[in-house]
A and B are shown apart, each in its own frame.
Chain A
Amino acid sequence: MFAYLVRRALQIIPTLFVISVVIYALLALKPGDPIDELRRGNPGFTAADYDRLIKLYGLDKPWYVRYWYWVGRAAQGDFGPSRRFGMPAAQYVFQYRLPNTLLLSGLSLLIAFVIAVPTGMLSALRQHSLFDYGVTFVNFIGVSIPIFWFGIMLMYIFSVQLRLLPAGSLQTPGIEGLWPIIVDRARHLILPVAALSSLQMASWTRFMRSSMLEIINLDYIRTARAKGLPERLVTVRHTMRNAILPIITLVALAIPTVMSGAVLTETVFNWPGMGRAIFDAIVVNDFNVAMVSLMFISLLVLLFNLLADIIYVIVDPRIRYD
């Protein structure tokens, strides 16, 4: 098992290297460069200005030359400066964007998980009941409604009409004191978390329900009941523990996706997270920010895949990698 994990961990390094080449090449081959941003709106921009700036930024060299230079610096922890913000790209991503995403996405994920698992379970245990039909109906609405539209509707009802919650943003400017800041953050989180968690919640509830239904009729469950185990133990220890395995895979794979931010939710609710950062960096050709963000997401995907494998072993003793 240990040898397997070490081998998997070591495989991450060459995989990341290949990913970095592909991402760098794609960004470099995309039409446009940082100079376009400086040229736009400046009618006096001349050929001499272009030459001067293209050399200054090193963009006169082929992309693979620039890549080797970038990767050499990145290996030492220097991902270069953000051309837009002046500050180091890594500082911009990890100090100003990632914490906001962790807060919004982490909470959404947690709430979606906490609600989806028991709801899916109950729905399966009471198959064909009014509750089951109700949950199924709500789930289909959840997976069908575009998140952008749902977010705007939430804002329209709770901010514009009822004036109960703020229309987006992270905080109210100028709030002071720990308690007011916590409450202010919580108020700002309610609508985006509701919007973002709705989709995951609906889909995970469906998965949990179908997973439970598969297991609930297996022989070993019948045996457990036959030997006189209380129904609660049968459900929690035998049924749920096995039914939750596919959900663990889904959650493990969802974490890196969620860390990469939710562009639509962040846009509607004016939430400065990773999704907008990556989107904006690509749009305005801020290559270093795009690179550091995308490499971080790639690393997370690889790590959480590994983590999912480890959790399988913990949850299901039948699984062995050696």
Chain B
Amino acid sequence: MRKITLAVLSLLLLVAMGWADSSFSHQLSARLGPQQNNIVIGANQEPDQLNPWEGSADTKENVTALFNIGLTYFDNEGNLLPGLATEVPSTSNGRVRISGTVEAGNFRQEVDWTLRDNAKWSDGVDITTDDVLFTLEVQQHQLVPVSFRTFSNTIVEIKAKDKKNFTIAYNSPNLFFASPTGRVGLARFYDIAPKHVWEPIFRAAIAAAQAPGADAAAVIQAQFLGAAPGSGTNPNAVVGSGPYKFAEWQRGQFIRGTRRVDFFLAPPGPAQNYVQEVIVRFFVATETLQAAILSGELDASDDIGLAGVDPAVLRGQLGNTANVEVSPSGFIEQLHFSQYVSGRTYGGQAINLPVCQVADDLLLGDPRTRQAIIQAINRETLAPTVFAGAIVSNSFVVRGDVGFNTELNQYPYNLDAAKALLAQLGWTPGPNGVLQRKTADGRTVLFRLPHATTPAGFRVRTQEILQQDLVAVGIAYDPSNQPASVLFSNEFIYGSNCNWQGIIEFASAGGIGEVPADELSGELWADDPRSTAAFDNVGRPENAFAGGNVGGWANSEYDKLHFQALSEFDIDKRAAIIRQMQVIYNTELPSVPLYERVELITAKAGLVNYTKGSAVTRTPFWNAWEWGWTQNGAVQAR
């Protein structure tokens, strides 16, 4: 016992001595900020790996922007600027040429790209068209588990004119050829991978995977995707095109990079005035991230980790030690209705999609039911209560997007209007005030509305408010929570399975600044008139649950406009089409748009150019080469 006591006391003494060691205390504080001209950023999401071909794009977005840059990038106002490329291709500069038509089957879209002469990989090797061709070869290889090939599949030809110039030809319209969703067609936010690093690994892995008896998927995972340039186990193997050179990755803890002197984009003034080292620390819990910010351990925080935190409270806690920036996230929180009801039509024709009994009984297929529910919810109160800074939405497009329609019905909180609509549909007060009605087959059904979502704090608070609001119009509310992995699994998320039959809540992307049609209405369109398959986007067993339409809403007029927009290269005309689509959405309400989410970032006083001004910008890491401390001579870049 005495020995153990001595051991514990020794340990405590050891710690106390370390504390008292002033040089060490200085070393700890000096890891932060202006003293060492570095920056320590707290982030919520850690990438799984750094290879450019696999993984959830969003978790990689921030960190990979340190080590890689695309052909183009969005600035703080949402303008598309040239990155690795010398200029952004457009029809006006002659770099985009369109001929033929989709209908005639001879459509061709050619895009010319020129790589910067001074664009180099972090190991000093030139970035060339060889890298582009190799990247596409990997992307298209049948053994590489790339998530999707929507755009790369439409590439019919890549011509490398020389080491710096290449042309990509598509056989169907690609509006997003220059933006982060559809350039060469790789996983998002990566354009080009270094051939000289990855090619030997790729060839060896493919040979091993194709050997008799080999488990191809396991070999590709272990020998290719998990190889050192992606896993970060050997810092020298990680080679990128971005402003920082990869230095160290302690999984679950932090990732570190050092400024590249040979990066082709420069901050204003001498580069040594700007941060020389970036450390991104990863935090799982918002509370811990917040504590680290308040304790002064972090110089800045990313745009995801503080979701739902009240900016006013945070400002009060931080005082004048740091700035709190609030910016639109580009995401709209929505309640999607199950539309799997009987008697449906599409373009005037009867259609045969699954029917879910509860959705059918509750008349969720009738727009009046959805209009009643949206007016029964006090969204003006709900939005700021559950998600500080959020604003009520009435569209599937976010405010500020060039295609946003300002003249939509606002659906203010109106209990009388909601009750009147429900009465029109035959609902009458029943036991305990819950609405009831007789069905055509003689059954009496009560209005019990099921609601499924994930157990995130702000969604649980939403459920509490919905419970109060809906009971006021006689709707009994039946909330349930599922872990995200279950809610978004194909067994659950698709309403065609009838595992959820009322409403399901999640957030959807609401704008990337170019009047998009594809990303935005991914949950809303049903049928692609250009394909022979029926209801391509409505996930059900017969199409292996493909497509983003989970509620099953199908509107032929909306679909027609959707595909018209996807083929319209004139941005003003495309914006007009998107505005028409919003009118249909706003009348039909296949989902109740609750609110537009906002994002918070914090930056210590003195840190400049760490900002994320718009939803289009997507990440505060877009201009990492311009981060700096005013104490060290850094200045505002824009």
What residues make up the interface of A, taking CB atoms closer than 8 Å to B? 30-33, 35-54, 56-58, 69, 80-88, 96-97, 100, 111, 114, 118, 152, 155-156, 159-160, 163, 166-175, 179-180, 182-184, 186-187, 190, 266-270, 272, 276, 282-285
B215 touches A170 (CB 8 A): no
Q: Which residues does chain A contribute within 8 Å of B547, judged by CB atoms?
A: 46-47
Shortest Cβ gap from A59 to chain B (Å): 9
Closest beta carbon of chain A to B198's beta carbon, Å: 13
**Is the pair B292, A168 in contact by a Cβ cutoff of 8 Å?**
yes
**Contact A38:B288 (CB < 8 A) given known A114-B4, A182-B18:** no
Given A32-B489, A52-B142, the answer on whether A170 and B250 have CB atoms closer than 8 Å is yes
Return the chain A residue nearest B215 by Cβ. Answer: A58
Q: B412 at interface (Cβ–Cβ under 8 A)?
A: no
* 4 residue pairs, one from A and one from B, having the closest CB atoms: A86-B226, A272-B252, A183-B18, A44-B150
B288 touches A32 (CB 8 A): no
Once the chains bind, are A283 and B253 in contact (CB under 8 Å)?
Answer: no
**Any A CB within 8 A of the CB of B231:** yes
Shortest CB distance B497–A (Å): 10
Which of B293-301, B460-468, B551-559, B620-628 is found at the contact surface with chain A?
Answer: B293-301
What residues on B are CB-neighbors of A268 within 8 Å? 285, 287-288
CB contact under 8 A between A86 and B231, given known A80-B218, A170-B250: yes
Nearest chain A residue, comparing its CB with the CB of B254: A173
**A284: contacting residue among B217, B254, B485, B536, CB under 8 A:** B485
B256–A270 touching, CB < 8 Å: no
Asked if A85 and B489 make an inter-chain contact with CB atoms under 8 angstroms apart, the answer reads no
Q: Which residue of B lies closest to A107 (CB)?
A: B11
- B residues sitting closer than 8 Å to A (CB atoms) are 1, 4-5, 8, 11, 14-15, 17-19, 21, 24, 27-28, 31, 40, 48-49, 51, 54-58, 142-143, 145, 147-151, 215-218, 221-222, 225-227, 230-231, 233, 248, 250-254, 256, 277, 279, 281-285, 287-288, 291-292, 294-297, 483-486, 488-492, 509, 518-519, 522, 536, 543-548
B292 contacts across to A, CB distance below 8 A: 159, 166-169
Decide if B544 touches A51 in the complex (CB within 8 Å).
yes
> A47-B544, A159-B292, A174-B279 given. 8 additional CB < 8 A pairs?
A31-B485, A32-B492, A45-B546, A56-B143, A58-B215, A58-B217, A175-B27, A180-B18
Which residues on A sit within 8 Å (CB–CB) of B8?
111, 114
The 8 Å CB contact of B18, one of A31, A33, A187, is A187
Question: Nearest-CB distance from B311 to chain A (Å)?
Answer: 18
Identify B297's interface contact among A36, A167, A186, CB under 8 A.
Answer: A167
Q: Do A40 and B56 have beta carbons less than 8 Å apart?
A: yes
Are B491 and A32 closer than 8 Å at their CB atoms? yes
Q: How far is the CB of A85 from chain B (nearest CB, A)?
A: 6
A166 touches B297 (CB 8 A): yes
Q: Are B222 and A81 in contact (CB under 8 A)?
A: yes
Instruction: Tell me whether A49 and B148 are in contact (CB under 8 A).
Output: yes
The answer to whether A56 and B145 touch (CB under 8 A), given A51-B544, A170-B250, A174-B256, is yes
Q: Choose one: A58, A169, A283; the contact of B484 (CB below 8 Å).
A: A283
The reply to whether B58 and A41 form a contact with Cβ atoms under 8 Å apart is yes
With A182-B18, A190-B15, A283-B485 already in contact, the answer to whether A84 and B48 are too (CB < 8 A) is: yes
Closest residue of B by beta carbon distance from A164: B19
By a CB distance below 8 angstroms, the chain A residues around B231 are 85-87
Closest Cβ neighbor of A171 among chain B residues: B253
Q: Pick the contact of B485 from A32, A35, A51, A184 — CB < 8 Å?
A: A32
Q: How far is the CB of B515 from chain A (nearest CB, A)?
A: 16
